[in-house]
Amino acid sequence: MSSSLTIPTSRMLKFLIVAVLLGACSAFVMPPKIPIKDAQAPPTPCCLPKQFEGNLHIITGTVQAGHGELSNVTARQSYDYTNMMMATEVLRPTNVRIIDDYNRMMQYVIMQGQCTATKITTKFDNCPFSNATYLGSFYFGGMQGLMMDGYQLMVPDAGTATVDVTRNGCIPVTSVTVSQSGATNPSISAIGYVDITLGIRDPAVFNVPHPLCPSEPDSKMPSTGFGLGRL
């Protein structure tokens, strides 16, 4: 179940406290990093695998209407750049299916027997690090751990993201996104990617249920989503 925390202090202090809480919780999502001491030239920015699936553990701290909140979400995501599709199934705390069809630039959210359709306004970028800032390389989890590269980049309509990917294969492992300065509802979100496998086991995850889902978007609702498809 998701958890919520109310912090009765000034708005900025609330945001800082939520961020500290998030950092404490994300320690369970992201093991320690050991920087590589020897100076290295920045690697050539990699592109994500064109098809992969895995589980996402998402911890988000937000400030809304003067109250700080902390949420914990577990989801299953299928990423298919070849066919320009992404599917996310939220497993906890509430079951929700999110299907992003980048061929039609449409997003479908299926929950409790209802479906809403919205227009996607961000592109599906398989190589989001081409214009990112290289932060450095490190071993993830110890000297015998994974060789990783860290990048920082701007996420449209979201803020600044710090993303760590494996040197071998460009597999996402962690990402932390901080909302834009001056955002109405400040937020910080940490995602841990686990049990990643290449390919799409069952393409049916991208099937949009009709006639449940409308063919035209509801312009009054913004699209949503998690993961690297949003970079």
pLDDT per position as a tens digit, 43-84? 999 999 999 999 999 999 999 888 899 999 999 999 999 999
Q: Is the dihedral of CA 171, 155, 72, 5 positive or negative?
A: positive
How high is the pLDDT of residue 206?
Answer: 97
Mean pLDDT, range 31-50, rounded to an integer = 74
Percent of the chain with pLDDT over 70: 77
Mean pLDDT, range 131-141, rounded to an integer = 92
Mean pLDDT, range 201-212, rounded to an integer = 93
How high is the pLDDT of residue 200?
Answer: 97
How high is the pLDDT of residue 40?
Answer: 66
How high is the pLDDT of residue 137?
Answer: 93
pLDDT(219) > 50: yes
pTM: 0.79
Q: Which residue has the tokens 């913004």?
A: 222
Is-contact 41 86, C-beta < 8 A? no
pLDDT(2) > 60: no
End-to-end CA distance of the chain: 27
Mean pLDDT, range 216-231, rounded to an integer = 61
Greatest mean pLDDT among 119-123, 180-184, 190-194 lies in: 190-194
In whole numbers, what is the pLDDT of the chain averaged over residues? 82
Angstrom distance (rounded) from CA 190 to CA 25: 9
The strand pairing partners of 218, in sequence order, are none
Angstrom distance (rounded) from CA 228 to CA 189: 13
Percent of the chain with pLDDT over 90: 56
Give the long-range contacts of residues 101-107, CB within 8 A, separation 24 or more: 101/206, 101/208, 106/217, 107/223, 107/224, 107/225
pLDDT(13) > 60: no
Q: How many C-beta atoms surround the C-beta of residue 12 within 10 A? A: 10
Amino acid code (one letter) for 208: V
Per-residue pLDDT band at 28 (split at 50, 70, 90): very low
The strand pairing partners of 133, in sequence order, are 152
Sequence-distant (≥ 6) Cβ neighbours of residue 162 within 8 angstroms: 135, 150, 151, 152, 175, 176, 177
> What values do phi and psi take at 205, rounded to 5?
-65, -20
